[in-house]
Amino acid sequence: MSDPTDDNGTAGAAETAESANTSGGGGGGSAGARHARVVLVDDHRMFRTGVQAEIGQTDQTGVEVVGEAADVDQAVTVITATRPEVVLLDVHLPGGGGVEVLRRCAPLMSDAEQPVRFLALSVSDAAEDVIGVIRGGARGYVTKTITGTDLINSIFRVQEGDAVFSPRLAGFVLDAFASTDAPPVDEDLDRLTQREREVLRLIARGYAYKEIAKQLFISVKTVESHVSAVLRKLQLSNRHELTRWATARRLV
């Protein structure tokens, strides 16, 4: 699952990925006494299949995938029925998104005897997405460029109660909770859907349509439709203007 375009590993707010690996062990080889029951929540079946293949060899990784869900209602049903130790949660889901799953699963998170902990796993590295799910109760946030070994270590750290973030994302959380001021409202950005924002950021970073389609597990035609919608809503003419617009708002 690693992507050479992103050199961010996974680390807690005050630890590096190397220290996490040292303290928690790797994903290949014996899992020892470690065991975590996990539910995968993502609306892309192919991505869930890939994660299952990467982490779900329980005898080697110690991770047991006990359920999957593709939208908010399914997620709440499966999580309530299986009571996993950790939920890998996508931020953008049909039915209200990851924040809605967290809201409806709040009683499970606060269970003193058997808490369900959430680790966001998303293609988005936008500050508002990170802050939203952390405020909702997630214990961490990593991007889908993470390696299988680091993801396994992150699961066990979240299970143990640690907070886990990709390094750059930890800064968003620290800045957000250190500030008493509410973030300013960007009316132009608010016109875009979550998916349109994802496409916008990738376009602004110079990705080709085919690369965006691969990243987001959608078709090239769908990418083109999202770009057209973004240009129309923001009253821009081309991707160069779009890039300047995104850069000016520090969205890249």
The whole-number pLDDT of residue 169 equals 81
DSSP-assigned letter for residue 185: P
The whole-number pLDDT of residue 157 equals 94
Q: How far is CA 6 from the centre of its chain?
A: 15
Dist. CA 204–CA 221, nearest whole Å: 18
The whole-number pLDDT of residue 245 equals 87
Q: Mean pLDDT in runs of 10 for the chain (252 residues)?
A: 42 37 41 84 94 91 96 96 97 89 92 92 86 89 92 95 84 64 60 84 88 88 92 89 82 67
HSE, CB side, 13 Å, CA atoms: give it for residue 20.
27
Q: The whole model's pTM is what?
A: 0.62
Dist. CA 2–CA 45, nearest whole Å: 18
The whole-number pLDDT of residue 32 equals 54
User: Which two tokens mark 102?
Assistant: 């967290």
Contact 213, 222 (CB under 8 A): yes
User: Which two tokens mark 154?
Assistant: 């992150």
DSSP-assigned letter for residue 184: P
Dist. CA 214–CA 200, nearest whole Å: 15
